[in-house]
Amino acid sequence: MESVSPDLFSGNIIKTRIRLARNISGYRFCGNDEKTSREIVKKVNRALIKCDTFNLYYVANVSTTVLEAMKERNLISKYLTENAVGGAALINADESLSVMINEEDVIREQCFMKGLRLKEAYERLDGLDDELAKNVDIAFHPRWGYLTTCPTNLGTGMRASVMLFLPALSESGKIRKVAEEARKAGLTVRGVYGEGSVAEGSIYQISNEVTLGISEYDILKSVEEAVLDICMTERELAKKLYASKEIKTMDRAKRAFGVLTNAVLLSYEEFLSLIAEVKIGAMFGMVDIQDLEALNDLTVKVRPANLCVQYGKDLSAFDRDLFRAEVVSKKLLKLREI
Amino acid sequence: MYDKVCKNCGTYLSDFYETGLVGCEKCYEVFKDEIENAVKEIQFGDMHTGKVPPFSSEEKSLLIRYERLFKEKENAVMEGRFSDVRAISEELIALKEKLEEKGLI
């Protein structure tokens, strides 16, 4: 494949996430009792103390809304909040690193970066992982590699994911074919929001399915190649669907902008579908917004729990829709001025 | 029906079939055959080719390597991989000499 710069697809590529699953030799992989779980948290916290300035959160001591907001920002998982005994998370200040403790595996390290930065994110996490292994006896098998609770994570224990905005593939239904092709290459494509084959807001995540029999760098390479390939297909299709129908696309984008900046009540589902229209318009220069990253950030900021955290207290569904409309309108009008 | 159990963590083979999850590292020895079958279906291979955890000291690293090779040799004997047994044995002898020199064993 001809080398393609990810910068070409800055409107489509949202963020990169690397996750490493690890367990500690001599401890159960999951389902430890409260006392042992606490002991593990202290062990991991001590091991990583030199790596970064982490805040330690015990799931039991954090409010449901704040936990939900962390989940919405992908910092912690549903499993950690619902199933784990003594679940905890170490999260650094800029939220680029998160270490879940007593999850499905005893340790799940994560690194997040904006855009397509798989190698950079892996290398950052690799450094953290080395520090951990220097201080904690990691469960490792010479043949099977890093031992995990679920054999689907064996070997590297790594999940490399990239979040993508794919409106043309989504709208045309061609995303199904893309997902099938990805599966043949040991990768998976799924919608981030909503259920079923059409993702709300056209936001998808591509990640490796296979973790054993392939090195970390080969996984990163295959995910990166697939991402660029998918983005190229999306771009070609978007030219046909949107760029060649300039008036219609502009009308859709400006109408969406109009609703988003004038609505009094705005549900998250409505926001997702309208912001996708605005983003398409912005990508083709039909709406006066340059900062596409800010639109991605807004998509997270106005999710239900994050909205409550921003407001400073729990809100009813009605009040959330009211506050969301205000936040979105202010932000979009400001972005248009820049 | 006989249900295998991992005495280290109490996970039964039927639990593994039901949830797809194991409880501890010993489970990988107790349910070795069953896990191998599962791995064949979901993974690209059955040999890890990626990162190996780094250790705090050369001594610790050598000791762990020695223990691992020992285990690997046992597996190779059990599986009748005799050429592997020979290669591992040679490496084990060299490693043992190194460890003895350092007074670690």
SS3 state of residue A126: helix
CB-CB under 8 Å, A147 with B47: no
For chain B (length 105 residues), average pLDDT per consecutive 10? 87 94 94 91 83 71 74 86 93 89 76
Domain map of chain A by residue range? 6-236, 244-337
Residue carrying structure tokens 């660029």: A228
Q: Do residues B24 and B64 share a domain?
A: no
d(CA A92, CA A191): 27
Task: Look up the CATH superfamily of A6-236.
Answer: Glutamine synthetase/guanido kinase, catalytic domain (3.30.590.10)
Q: Per residue in A112-122, is it b (16+ CB within 10 Å) or e — as a string?
A: bbebbbbbebb
Residue A127 contacts B, CB cutoff 8 Å: no
Quote the domain boundaries for residue B23: 1-49
Residue A268 contacts B, CB cutoff 8 Å: no
Are the C-beta atoms of A228 and B60 separated by less than 8 Å? no
Q: Do residues B30 and B63 share a domain?
A: no
pTM of the model: 0.86
d(CA A199, CA A206): 13
pLDDT tens digits, residue range A10-48? 899 999 999 999 999 999 998 899 999 999 999 999 999
SS3 state of residue A52: coil
Residues of chain A with confidence (pLDDT) below 70: 1-4, 6, 84, 194-198, 338
CB-CB under 8 Å, A23 with B50: no
By percentage, how much of chain A surpasses pLDDT 90? 81
Residue A123 contacts B, CB cutoff 8 Å: no
SS3 state of residue A276: helix
Q: Look at chain B and report how many structural domains it folds into.
A: 2
Q: Do residues B8 and B36 share a domain?
A: yes
d(CA A90, CA A218): 28
Q: Do residues B67 and B83 share a domain?
A: yes
Mean pLDDT score across all residues of chain A: 92
- Cα distances (angstroms) measured from residue A51 to each of A42, A106, A282, B40, B83: 15, 19, 39, 37, 43
Where does chain A have alpha helices with state H? 34-47, 64-72, 78-82, 118-135, 167-172, 175-184, 216-241, 246-262, 268-283, 292-301, 304-311, 317-337
pLDDT tens digits, residue range A273-309? 999 999 999 999 889 898 999 999 999 999 999 999 9
On chain A, the residues whose CB falls within 8 A of the CB of B39 are 144, 151, 154, 212
Q: Do residues B39 and B1 share a domain?
A: yes
